[in-house]
């Protein structure tokens, strides 16, 4: 079974923040599925909205394919203070045995694991604390930070003395800077720290997707 074939009869439900990478993988032929469903980016700030949209997208996906992969992180993407024992995996498990989640803690972790991020931090930011982002955090920044004012930005970003590093596996930042240089500078000014792209491959993301395919194909819940 080839990678292309293994993904052809599976639907994917993902946070919209990762839509640039998933659409790119579909464009280059890695994702053969015709069924991609996205939630609104930034819903980790609205867990009830996240849960409603996620269940809705999974239900829609189940009408199109027998198996569903959810591209969401775990403990950082869904934190329910009212029901601490209700986790992302709880929601996934409630949708049935033919639904599984990609095994990563958050979107950044899907693109580069902790050891790789540490290496990048040492090379690019002299080991200083970094605010990590993916291209979706730039493309959908008004969704991701919709409830943040400048005060919140000042409280959170400047402590990341290594600045912002965007893990870019699709050449997004270079194009964005060329097309919208003022928007890019405005974003950096609002954050109060420099933003720089770091080119990466998507091998880790591809591998995690294929691992999820194998798990859901065997009806293994993880």
pLDDT of residue 4: 54
Contacts of 8 (CB under 8 A, 6+ apart): 32, 33
**Number of domain units in the chain:** 2
Band of pLDDT at residue 222, cut at 50, 70 and 90? very low
Q: How confident is residue 44, by pLDDT bands cut at 50, 70 and 90?
A: confident
> Same domain, yes or no, for 95 and 125?
no
Angle between helices 181-191 and 172-179 in degrees, nearest 10? 110
94 with 52, same domain? yes
24 within some domain? yes
Q: Which domain holds residue 120?
A: 113-199
Residues 155 and 66 in one domain: no
Percent of the chain with pLDDT over 90: 82
* Residue 82 shares a structural domain with residue 133: no
Residues 184 and 90 in one domain: no
Looking at residue 43, which CATH number applies to its domain?
3.40.50
Cα(168)–Cα(25) distance, integer angstroms: 13
Alpha carbon separation from 193 to 175, 184, 196 (Å, rounded): 21, 12, 10
* Any domain includes 222: no
pLDDT at residue 219 greater than cutoff 90: no
27 and 90 fall within a common domain:
yes
Q: Are residues 20 and 98 in the same domain?
A: yes
Q: Could you report the per-residue pLDDT of 70-79, keeping only the tens digit for each?
A: 999 987 888 8
The mean pLDDT of the chain is: 93
Kindly state whether residues 35 and 66 are assigned to the same domain. yes
Quick one: 90 and 150 in the same domain? no
């Amino acid at each position: 079974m080839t990678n292309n074939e293994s993904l052809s009869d599976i639907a994917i439900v993902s946070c919209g923040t990762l839509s640039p990478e998933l659409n790119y993988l579909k464009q280059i032929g890695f994702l053969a599925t015709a069924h991609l469903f996205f939630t609104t980016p930034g819903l980790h700030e609205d867990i009830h909205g996240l849960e409603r949209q996620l269940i809705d997208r999974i239900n829609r996906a189940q009408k199109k394919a027998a198996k569903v992969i959810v591209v969401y992180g775990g403990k950082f993407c869904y934190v329910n203070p009212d029901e601490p024992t209700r986790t992302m995996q709880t929601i996934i498990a409630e949708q049935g045995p033919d639904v599984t989640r990609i095994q990563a803690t958050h979107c950044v972790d899907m693109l580069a694991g902790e050891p790789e991020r540490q290496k990048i931090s040492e090379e690019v930011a002299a080991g200083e604390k970094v605010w990590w982002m993916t291209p979706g955090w730039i493309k959908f920044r008004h969704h991701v930070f919709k409830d943040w004012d400048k005060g919140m930005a000042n409280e959170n970003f400047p402590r990341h003395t290594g600045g912002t590093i965007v893990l870019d596996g699709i050449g997004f930042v270079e194009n964005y800077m060329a097309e919208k240089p003022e928007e890019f500078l405005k974003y950096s000014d609002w954050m109060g720290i420099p933003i720089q792209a770091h080119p990466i491959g998507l091998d880790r993301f591809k591998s995690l997707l294929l691992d999820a395919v194998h798990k859901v194909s065997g009806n293994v819940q993880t």
